[in-house]
């Protein structure tokens, strides 16, 4: 493997190479395919134990990865708040809420609602940080809220209580992740994200394991080749490997491009769920997808265009 093809985390670079685009595409594909993969695993493993295995295996891989790079060290106390925020809110809350919700709603719909985070970040910015939105962003937020209403309308109109609870959990998961996004932007970092990542995943895996043991006991899992393959895909690949890619590529491209690229995750999650799980593309989902994606693009791209115009 040549130097141009390796993942570089230690040095920022303004270039967007074909190699970076390829890595970014792989990351989006793996994240998207992980939604139907998790749905299948939930047939054999409870949400709590699945989340424990996911982050436990990812933490082990990241400890090995950072150790081999000579970057494994204890975090400084100034970074404890961001470790807690990412580990407890983004990893535990977001993942567990999403997994429980997927026992009640389709995987494609779950991916779509869970990735409405830019919408909630915009609302947090207005309500908590007291910052105003551009007119285009305001329209985008309204379109996004309308898209969410359209997506969950079949559950509301049919008063499907389980599905409604699942939808609320997914929106709660997106809100948890949004809080972390705002915190990440405000936090004065002392250690690099890669150095902190193993500790964040360990912080999520250990409480999950304790809660799962107390509430459910030792799991009785019917192990088979398919299940093991899916767990390897979800943990070491879609969580650990993709996290490393996101850090590497994210340092070399602007944040707007990175955010817009991740919009492909719910789309891939939706269509891969249709292909692998036989889920249906309903009219509500179709209209909701268009409204939500247009909303997220407007929220993410609008500020970048305004910044270029001012320059």
Mean pLDDT calculated for residue range 63-67: 95
Q: What is the 3-state secondary structure (H, E, C) of 26-46?
A: HHHHHHHHHHHHHHHHCCCCC
Judge whether 112 and 270 are in contact, CB under 8 Å: yes
Mean pLDDT value of segment 154-181: 93
163 near 104, Cβ under 8 Å? yes
How far from the centroid of its chain's Cα atoms is residue 198's Cα? 17
pLDDT band at 235 (very low <50, low <70, confident <90, very high): very high
> Which DSSP state fits 3?
G
- Reported as a pLDDT band with limits 50, 70 and 90, residue 24 is confident
| Residue in the block written with tokens 């989902």 | 285
| CA 101/CA 47 separation, integer angstroms | 9
Higher pLDDT, residue 193 or 284: 284
Residue-level pLDDT at 1: 38
Q: Which of 196, 191, 190, 184 is nearest to 63 (CA)?
A: 196
Residue 304 has pLDDT above 60, yes or no: no
Q: Taking the chain, what is the end-to-end CA distance rounded to the nearest angstrom?
A: 40
Please give the pLDDT value at position 255.
59
Whole-prediction pTM: 0.87
The rounded distance, in Å, linking the Cα atoms of 251 and 14 is: 8
154 confidence band (pLDDT: 50, 70, 90): very high
Write down the pLDDT at residue 303. 54
Mean pLDDT value across residues 42-67: 96
List, in order, residues 6 or more apart from 272 with CB less than 8 Å away: 32, 33, 35, 36, 108
Low-confidence winner among 57-66, 225-234, 298-307 (lowest mean pLDDT): 298-307
| 188, burial (CB in 10 Å: exposed 0-12, middle 13-18, buried 19+) | exposed
Is residue 3 scored above 50 in pLDDT?
no
Q: Is the pLDDT of residue 140 over 70?
A: yes
* Helix ranges, 69-160 (H): 80-84, 94-101, 107-114, 117-127, 135-157
Which whole number is the average pLDDT over 104-114?
95
Is residue 274 a contact partner of residue 108, using CB atoms and an 8 Å limit? yes
Looking at residue 62, its pLDDT comes to: 95
Whole-number Å distance between alpha carbons of 240 and 31: 11
> Which segment of 37-51, 259-273, 281-295 scores lowest on mean pLDDT?
259-273
pLDDT at 175: 94
Question: Does residue 300 surpass a pLDDT of 80?
Answer: no
Q: What is the pLDDT of residue 8?
A: 39
Q: 307 pLDDT exceeds 60?
A: no
Whether 301 shows a pLDDT value over 50: the answer reads yes
Dihedrals phi, psi of 159, to nearest 5 degrees: 45, 55
Query: Would you state the structure tokens that stand for residue 289, as one six-digit string?
Result: 């997808």
For residue 254, the model assigns a pLDDT of: 64
pLDDT of residue 187: 85
Instruction: State yes or no: pLDDT of 14 exceeds 90.
Output: no
Between 142 and 311, the more confident residue is 142
Integer Cα distance of 254 and 47 in angstroms:
34
256 pLDDT band, cuts 50/70/90, is low
Task: For helices 94-101 and 107-114, give the axis angle rounded to 10 degrees.
Answer: 150
When pLDDT is cut at 50, 70 and 90, the band that residue 137 belongs to is confident
Per residue in 174-194, pLDDT (tens digit) is: 999 999 888 888 888 888 888
pLDDT of residue 251: 63
Q: Where are the alpha helices (DSSP H) in the chain?
A: 18-41, 47-68, 80-84, 94-101, 107-114, 117-127, 135-157, 161-186, 193-216, 225-232, 242-250, 255-261, 264-277, 283-310
Using CA atoms, how far apart are residues 103 and 43, in angstroms rounded to an integer? 9
């Amino acid at each position: 493997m040549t130097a141009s093809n390796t993942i570089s985390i230690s040095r920022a670079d303004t270039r967007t190479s074909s190699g970076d685009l390829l890595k970014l595409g792989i990351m989006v594909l793996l994240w998207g395919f992980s939604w139907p993969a998790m749905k299948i695993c939930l047939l054999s493993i409870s949400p709590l134990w699945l989340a424990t295995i996911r982050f436990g295996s990812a933490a082990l891989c990241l400890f090995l990865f950072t150790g081999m790079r000579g970057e494994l060290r204890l975090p400084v106390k100034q970074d404890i708040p961001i470790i807690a925020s990412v580990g407890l809110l983004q990893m535990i809350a977001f993942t567990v809420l999403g997994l429980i919700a997927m026992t009640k709603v389709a995987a494609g719909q779950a991916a779509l609602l869970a990735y409405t985070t830019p919408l909630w970040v915009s609302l947090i910015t207005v309500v908590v940080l007291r910052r105003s939105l551009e007119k285009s962003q305001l329209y985008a937020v309204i379109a996004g809220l309308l898209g969410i209403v359209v997506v969950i309308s079949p559950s509301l109109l049919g008063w499907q209580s389980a599905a409604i609870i699942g939808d609320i959990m997914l929106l709660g998961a997106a809100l948890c992740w949004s809080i972390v996004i705002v915190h990440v932007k405000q936090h004065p970092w002392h250690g690099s994200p890669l150095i902190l990542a193993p500790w964040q995943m360990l912080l999520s895996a250990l409480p999950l394991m304790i809660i799962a043991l107390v509430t459910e006991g030792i799991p009785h899992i019917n192990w088979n080749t398919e299940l093991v393959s899916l767990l390897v895909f979800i943990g070491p690949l879609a969580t650990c490997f993709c996290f490393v890619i996101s850090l590497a590529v994210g340092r070399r491209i602007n944040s707007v491009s990175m955010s817009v690229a991740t919009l492909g995750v719910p789309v891939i999650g939706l269509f891969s769920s249709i292909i692998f799980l036989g889920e249906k593309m309903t009219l509500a989902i179709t209209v909701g997808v268009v409204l939500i994606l247009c909303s997220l693009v407007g929220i993410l791209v609008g500020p970048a265009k305004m910044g270029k115009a001012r320059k």
